[in-house]
Amino acid sequence: MKSDFLPLITKAVFEANVPAARMPERNTSVFSRLEKMFSIAYRTMVFSIVGEPYEGKIMEDETLQKACIRFVCLDAFIHTCRSLDLVLTATGFGIVSTESTAPASKARVDALIDELSIELAKTNEQMVDIMKKVEGWSGTHAASLQIPTLFWRWSDFERLTTLQKTAANFVSARSRAVAADAILRREISVEYMEELLSKERGVAMTNWDNAIMSKCRDFIGHFVSLQEGQKYNTQMLSLMVESLENYPDDYPTYTASRLHATRHAQRYQNKKEDSTFFFM
C-alpha cells in the first residue's frame, strides 16, 4: 500500500501542505532530502492512527487520503527541518547553499516547528474523526493510542484550557489528562469511564453520555490548567456525580458499578439482642 500512496506526494503537493518549504520550481533540495522521511512518517501514521488492518481505507476514501497526505508532509518536515540548515528567504525557508549564508535563527525555526506541529495536531484530529466512523476501528490499538482519555483533541485544548496554545503545552496537557482521568474514575466509576472511552472511539453515544462526557472534559481542561499549588474544583465533580445519581436508569453502567454499590451499601443496624454495639 505504501508503494501506491507515496507517489501521490509530489513536490507541488508537499509545498502546498508546507508552504514554508516552497522552493523555486527547479530547486528540489528540500523535497528530495525528505523523501526517506515520507516513508517513515507514513508507517508511523498507519500504525498509530489509521490502524494496520485499515490501511486500505487510505486509497478508498478521498477525504482520508488528503488528510493522510497532509499528515505525512507535515510530520516528515517537522522531524527533519532542524538538520536541513534552513535559511529564511523572501518566499519561505530554504536550505543553506553557500558558506556565506547563515542558517535561520533557532527562534525562527522553533516558531516554525510549533506552528506546523499545531497544524499536525489538527490534521491528526481530523483523521481520527474519520476513522471513528469505520466499523471496527474503535477496538484497535491505534484507537487506544489516539484516545487514551476523553481529552485528546487539539480543539478541546484550545477551547477548555487557559494555557498558552503551543504544541508543547498540548502534549503536556494530554499527559496531565491521565491524572485527571484517574480522579474521574474514582467519581463516576472505572466501568463507566471505560464505557465512555469505548463510545468516544466509535460513534455510539447517547445524549446522556454526552452530558457527562462534556462535564468530564470541562474538569480535565480545568485540571491541566492548574498552576503549582492550586487545587482542583471538587464542585465540578460533585455536580457530575449528582447527575449520575439522580438519573440511574439513564446510566446503567454506573448504576451497576462497584463504586455505586459501595456508595449505596446499607450501614449495619444494631439490634437489642446484639452483645456488641457498633457506632458508625
Query: For 158-205, what is each residue's pLDDT tens digit?
Result: 999 999 999 999 999 999 999 999 999 999 999 999 999 999 999 888
Domain boundaries, the chain: 1-134, 147-264
Q: Residue 232 class from Cβ within 10 Å (0-12 exposed, 13-18 middle, 19+ buried)?
A: middle
Whole-model pTM: value is: 0.87
Q: What Cα–Cα distance (Å) separates residue 141 from each residue in 37, 72, 201, 205?
A: 23, 20, 11, 20
Among 35-49, 82-96, 140-154, 182-196, which is the least confidently predicted range?
82-96
The answer on pLDDT for 100 being more than 70 is: no
Q: How confident is the model at residue 263 (pLDDT cuts 50, 70, 90)?
A: very high
Given a contact cutoff of 8 angstroms between Cβ atoms, the answer to whether 54 and 124 are in contact is no
| Amino acid (one-letter) located at 198 | S
Q: Which residue has the cell 480522579?
A: 183
Q: What angle do CA 80, 70, 34 make, to 5 degrees?
A: 30
Among 59-63, 96-100, 216-220, 273-277, which is the least confidently predicted range?
96-100
CA atoms within 13 A on the CB side of 115: 10
**CA proximity to 245, closest of 264, 273, 227:** 264
Using CA atoms, how far apart are residues 130 and 124, in angstroms rounded to an integer? 10
Q: Report CA 236 to chain centroid distance, whole Å.
A: 23
